[in-house]
């Protein structure tokens, strides 16, 4: 398809048609500040209007649990789906993840209460201006000083300093990771391997303070979606397990508690053919003038050879513009993709060209990213299937 000449391509997607994350009113970055303000923590502001304060607050973050996928599976997730309405006093609604809709970015938005343009983790991989090379923000490779990369305090640290009993209950593997340090640290860390143990421990930690803020996490729904797709039995089996975990935690809530089940992003299954998977590594047209390819299949940061920025933008828009929103860095910033402001240290981490998928398509890179290029389920962009995440409430 990239061999076609310009006049074979209809108009590229207009940037204003991208459904923007609801920064400041209903995005993941708004959740913890709202909850912390309800706990009386000085500093954070409540920006999600309809949430009522509680003395004990637990956030259960399920990796990869999109709002649309949850609603499409009431049989596999009867408990969580029952929270969508008001039958249990719940106030189920979607939040937007933020751009890109990817784990490192979303966890940083949750933990710092800041949009990506401020916390500075604006992608799966981005260019580190200090080295000129790619930095994988999920695996933190290559290592760079976490606190210069993300200098803001987490909401957990603010809550802990304000005397709120604060705890993270997650996999032991995350205890010393830089991502945990800069996004989720503050208060006690409790590593448990099994989901059931995490739920039980989270309930116990919630009860351990008069005012408490507890975060717990489960990752394997996302893993199943990546490997087998959201249409797979494995994914549905994981969803059933997540539903039981959430119910187990809900049934153990101590008095005066609120549990919020949420997620970092949803998921889109992408067919395995050349039409849906455009291989950057074999496409001479897309590669021309590109020094570095960052991000992931549905949310690309493209770093141009100096001087080639506008040529790369022109070609990418011409070749991909019907299926991707293709923006220059300044256009994406002006459109608010990364939030209302971009910190100076974050600006050069963003691609010269930024491509966000509109259709069920990917820009894969079979040579430089063989593992990622083989994934069935993907996420990153602004479509509702990957951008909307649930915010489900249970109160005791
Ligand atoms: Zn994922």
The structural domains of the chain, with segments of one domain joined by +, span 28-269+384-395, 270-377
CA of 36 to the centre of ligand 1 (A): 27
Q: Does domain 28-269+384-395 have CATH number 3.40.720.10?
A: yes
Residues in Cβ contact with 279 at an 8 Å cutoff, skipping those fewer than 6 apart: 364, 365, 366, 373
Tell me what pLDDT residue 89 has. Answer: 45
The answer to whether the CB of 229 falls within 8 A of the CB of 269 is: yes
**Centre of ligand 1 from the C-alpha of residue 299, in Å:** 12
pLDDT of residue 87: 44
pTM, rounded to two decimals: 0.95
Q: Given this model, what pLDDT does residue 92 score?
A: 83
Ligand 1 centroid to residue 327 C-alpha, Å: 23
**Do residues 333 and 350 lie in contact, with contact meaning Cβ atoms separated by under 8 Å?**
yes
134 Cα–ligand 1 center, Å: 19
- What pLDDT does 86 receive? 55
Determine the pLDDT at residue 259. Answer: 97
Q: Give the pLDDT score at 50.
A: 80
Measured in Å, residue 20 CA sits from the centre of ligand 1 at: 20
Q: What is the distance between the alpha carbons of residues 201 and 209, in angstroms, rounded to a whole number? A: 13
Q: Which residue has the tokens 């430089």?
A: 368
Q: Give the number of C-alpha atoms closer than 13 A to the C-alpha of residue 274, restricted to the C-beta side.
A: 5
**Residues, Cβ < 5 Å to ion ligand 1:** 222
> What was the pLDDT predicted at 49?
84
Query: Is the Cα dihedral 32, 33, 34, 38 positive or negative?
Result: positive
**Cα–Cα dist 56/8, whole Å:** 59
Task: Give me ligand 1 centre to Cα 120, in Å.
Answer: 19
Interstrand relation of 212-218 and 165-170 (parallel, antiparallel or unpaired): parallel
Q: What is the chain's pLDDT, residue by residue, as a tens digit (396 residues)?
A: 445 554 555 688 999 999 999 999 999 999 999 999 999 999 999 999 888 899 999 999 999 999 999 999 999 999 999 998 754 444 688 999 999 999 999 999 999 999 999 999 999 999 999 999 999 999 999 999 999 999 999 999 999 999 999 999 999 999 999 999 999 999 999 999 999 999 999 999 999 999 999 999 999 999 999 999 999 999 999 999 999 999 999 999 999 999 999 999 999 999 999 999 999 999 999 999 999 999 999 999 999 999 999 999 999 999 998 999 999 999 999 999 999 999 999 999 999 999 999 999 999 999 999 999 999 999 999 999 999 999 999 999
Please tell me the distance between residue 4's alpha carbon and the centre of ligand 1 in angstroms: 33
CA 263–ligand 1 middle distance (angstroms)? 11
Integer Cα distance of 11 and 9 in angstroms: 7
Annotate 164-176 with b (16+ C-beta within 10 A) or e (fewer). Answer: bbbbbbbbeebee
CATH of 270-377, one of 3.30.1360.180, 3.40.140.10, 1.10.287.610, 3.40.50.300: 3.30.1360.180
Alpha carbon of 124 to ligand 1 centroid (Å): 10
What Rg, from alpha-carbon coordinates, does the chain have?
Answer: 21
Tell me, in angstroms, the distance from the centre of ligand 1 to residue 375's CA: 10
Q: What does DSSP assign to residue 323? A: T
């Amino acid at each position: 398809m990239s061999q076609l000449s310009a006049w074979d391509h209809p108009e590229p997607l207009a940037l204003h048609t991208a459904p923007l994350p609801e920064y400041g009113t209903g995005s993941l970055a708004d959740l913890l500040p709202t909850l912390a303000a309800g706990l009386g923590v000085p500093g954070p502001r409540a920006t999600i209007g309809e949430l009522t304060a509680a003395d004990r607050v637990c956030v259960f973050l399920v990796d990869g649990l999109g709002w649309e996928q949850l609603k499409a599976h009431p049989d596999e997730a009867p408990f969580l789906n029952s929270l969508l309405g008001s039958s249990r006093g719940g106030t189920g609604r979607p939040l937007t993840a933020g751009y890109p809709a990817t784990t490192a970015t979303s966890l940083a938005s949750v933990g710092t209460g800041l949009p990506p343009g401020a916390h500075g983790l604006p992608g799966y991989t981005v260019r580190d201006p200090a080295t000129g090379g790619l930095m994988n923000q999920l695996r933190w490779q290559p290592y760079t000083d976490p606190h210069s990369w993300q200098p803001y305090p987490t909401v957990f640290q603010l809550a802990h300093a304000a005397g709120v009993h604060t705890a993270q209950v997650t996999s032991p593997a995350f205890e010393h990771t830089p991502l945990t340090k800069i996004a989720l640290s503050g208060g006690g860390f409790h590593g448990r391997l099994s989901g059931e143990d995490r739920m039980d421990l989270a309930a116990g930690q919630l009860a351990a303070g008069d005012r408490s803020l507890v975060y717990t996490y489960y990752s394997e729904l996302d893993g199943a979606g990546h490997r087998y797709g959201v249409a797979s039995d494995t994914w549905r089996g994981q969803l059933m397990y997540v539903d039981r975990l959430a119910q187990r935690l809900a049934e153990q809530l101590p008095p005066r508690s609120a549990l919020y089940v949420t997620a970092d992003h949803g998921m889109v299954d992408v067919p395995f053919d050349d039409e849906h998977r455009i291989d950057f590594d074999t496409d001479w047209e897309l590669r021309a003038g590109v020094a570095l390819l960052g991000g992931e299949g549905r949310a690309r940061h493209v770093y141009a050879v100096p001087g080639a920025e506008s040529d790369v933008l022109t070609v990418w828009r011409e070749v991909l513009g019907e299926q991707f929103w293709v923006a220059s860095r300044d256009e994406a910033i002006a459109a608010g993709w990364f939030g209302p402001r971009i910190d100076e240290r974050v600006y050069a981490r963003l691609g010269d060209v930024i491509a966000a998928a509109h259709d069920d398509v990917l820009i894969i890179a079979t040579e430089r990213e063989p593992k990622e290029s083989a994934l069935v389920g993907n996420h990153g962009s602004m479509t509702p299937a990957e951008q909307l995440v649930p915010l489900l409430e249970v109160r005791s």
